[in-house]
Chain A
Amino acid sequence: MKDADVSRQIQQMIRFIRQEAEEKANEISVAAEEEFNIEKLQLLEAEKRKIRQEYERKAKQIDVRRKIEYSTQLNAARIKVLQAQDDAVGAMKDAAKKGLLRISNDKKVYRKLVKDMIVQGLLRLREPSVLLRCRESDRKLVESLIEEAKKEYSEKANMQAPKIALDDRVYLPPSPKNSAVDSHEPYCTGGIVLASEDGKIVLENTLDARLDVIFRQKLPEVRKRLLG
């Protein structure tokens, strides 16, 4: 083989090597660009999804927080109105209690009331012997009424009047001081309490007890009038 042929062959081999390399490099380059685009899209989409979910969660939290806040405010408002209603009704009851004081201070009216309460109590109890308890300040009044009440009981019940023992050791609480009907001190604005001899049946016929019963009965009506 001639030197020129050898030289040509070597040059050809060198060109081939370079061409192979450049084709390989180009292939890698094209693949790289494709991978770049795919990678970028995938990464970006994943990242955006993550960010979007994060902010959706935050927005939802705002909404929840707003709803909770409004719900709390609404509840507080309702309680406020209900409290105002209770206060209004309570004020009326207090006014009625003060009215009881005026009644028991009216000697003539009060005398008849106490007699009627005694008679009513006797009629309800239908006991042969009863214990009667009253306020200390009413003792003389009650003593003066017992015979009259017995007589009226006999007429109405058409039977012999029971024995009535006036308790001179234990009395009902006195009237509230300074007309403080909302104080926690026990008080009694007037009336009597009757008990059977064995103490098992007690009939509380005080002005305060009567007001409590009637107030509870009339509460729906009062509320209805109040709320319109």
Chain B
Amino acid sequence: MDPFKGQGGIQMLLIAEQEAQHIVSNARNLRTQRLKQAKDEVEREAAQYRSHMEDEYQKLISENTGSSGSNVKRLEEETDAKIKNLKKSTSKISSEVVDMLLKYVTNIKT
């Protein structure tokens, strides 16, 4: 019996067609899988990028904290210096100011 004769030939064609469908179907599945892979890779690389940005951010916080601290310290020093100067000035002029005020209070024009 010739295998290609009669129904045998058609059967072989059907099988070939099924295999063809399978090949194409496989390709489509791989495509879908590849797209998902793209998403996965993006997530991984994005996570790395985020980690990098977080490091930069923490560094920025450290720098700002240091900078802010020194600013506050300088401000406190300036303020204390001003107040010290003020007290010195006060003790220097206080008695003459009081004398001046009392002089005017008691200078009664009639």
Contacts and interface: CB of A to CB of B under 8 A. Distances in A.
A54 B50 CA distance: 10
Contacts of A84: 82-83, 86-87
Contact of A33 (B2, B34, B104, B105): B34
A218 interface: yes
Contact of B34 (A35, A74, A109): A35
Interface string B18-45: 0111011011101100110111011101
Contacts of B57: 55, 58-59
B102 A32 contact: no
A32 B31 contact: yes
A33 B35 CA distance: 9
Nearest to B4: A7
Contact residue range for chain B?
A: 35 or more
Contacts of B42: 40, 43-44, 47
A88 interface: yes
A119 to B, nearest CB: 5
Interface of A: 3, 6-7, 10-11, 13-14, 17-18, 20-22, 24-26, 28-29, 31-33, 35-37, 39-40, 43-44, 47-48, 51-52, 54-55, 58-59, 62-63, 66, 69-70, 73-74, 77, 80-81, 84-85, 88, 91-93, 95-96, 99-100, 103, 109, 113, 116-117, 119-120, 123, 152, 156, 207, 210-211, 214-215, 218, 222, 225-228
A73 B72 contact: yes
21 contacts: A7-B4, A7-B9, A10-B13, A21-B21, A29-B30, A36-B37, A39-B39, A40-B41, A52-B53, A55-B53, A70-B75, A77-B79, A84-B82, A88-B87, A88-B89, A91-B94, A92-B90, A92-B101, A103-B106, A226-B93, A227-B86
A80 B82 CA distance: 10
Given A6-B4, A13-B13, A59-B57, A214 B104 contact: yes
A32 B34 CA distance: 7
Contacts of A80: 79, 83
A77 B76 contact: yes
A47 B49 CA distance: 9
